[in-house]
Amino acid sequence: MKAKELILLALAPVVVCCTGRQGSAESETESSWATTSLNIKTPIAPDDTLCYQIKIELDTLSADNSLARNLSSAICENLLPERNETSVGSAMTALGDSLETEWKEIIADMYDPESDFNDMFQYHFAVSGKPLDNGRDDILSYKMTTDCYLGGAHGSYMVNYYNFDMNTGKLLDIKDIVPADKEMLVLMAMEEQLCKDFDATDLPDLQSKTGITALGDLYLTNNFCFKGDSIQLLFIQYEIAPYAAGLIKVTLPCP
């Protein structure tokens, strides 16, 4: 039986650094990046060579300022939305423990040592979080990805973006970027750009070709990131289109 591997590396330093200002403070507060990781790899049953795996690797800011605290809060909310965790390390450990407990019960109930389908219990759950090079000095963009397989026909891949004002540390909402009087113009621009990207004549044609808007209308999502003077909005699977449509991205000039 393979031994269970559990590694927690807290605040392992990485090279990247950033500098920001808090509010109207005169002096700059430097914040260095650090990586926290958790890795659990366990056999699905005694004496079986097949394993399930939970792997989480997240970059965080090692500083005591609003930016670092708000980033940690966003990460904890992503990992465990139903709990009020304040530490990324404790949130990772709690998530790993919760998943492993749930998986063990499922596998124990369904596992058959003589079955040819035990590979379906090679569950995996991988989360990664890193800052993005968005070409801007005033905004920090952060990307979290979740790649998992929990049995069934296919796995799931999700991407969540978070954007923070470097001066105040505030987590930005799409309404902070798109003024209310420009919302309809931006929605029209999204429709036009998607039709252009997929060579569609109009929204019904786009839906027919791609499935986009088959499950929901276009809207100003908070899942966005900056790319220099542009903004990219992202819709995950099943949000506005069937799974087969994949991740739907639309890039527009900043309003």
pLDDT of residue 12: 40
- Please say which residue of 165, 193, 212 terminates a domain: 165
Do residues 19 and 139 both lie within one domain?
yes
- Please say which residue of 165, 193, 225 terminates a domain: 165
Q: What contacts 62, CB < 8 A, 6 or more positions away?
A: 11, 31, 32, 33, 34, 68
Do residues 129 and 14 both lie within one domain?
yes
pLDDT of residue 30: 61
Overall domain count for the chain: 2
Do residues 104 and 203 both lie within one domain?
no
pLDDT of residue 18: 43
Do residues 17 and 71 both lie within one domain?
yes
> pTM of the entire structure?
0.87
Do residues 16 and 141 both lie within one domain?
yes
Phi, psi of 107 (to 5 degrees): -65, -40
pLDDT of residue 169: 96
Do residues 161 and 188 both lie within one domain?
no
Do residues 147 and 209 both lie within one domain?
no
Tens digits of per-residue pLDDT, 148-185? 999 988 899 999 999 999 999 999 999 999 999 999 99
Do residues 88 and 206 both lie within one domain?
no
pLDDT of residue 24: 34
- Which residues of the chain fall short of a pLDDT of 50? 1-8, 10-29
CATH code of residue 225: 3.90.640.20
Do residues 27 and 149 both lie within one domain?
yes
Cα separation, 189 vs 218, whole angstroms:
11
- Please say which residue of 165, 197, 225 terminates a domain: 165
Residue 115: domain span? 5-165
Do residues 124 and 96 both lie within one domain?
yes
pLDDT of residue 152: 84
Cα separation, 8 vs 89, whole angstroms:
8
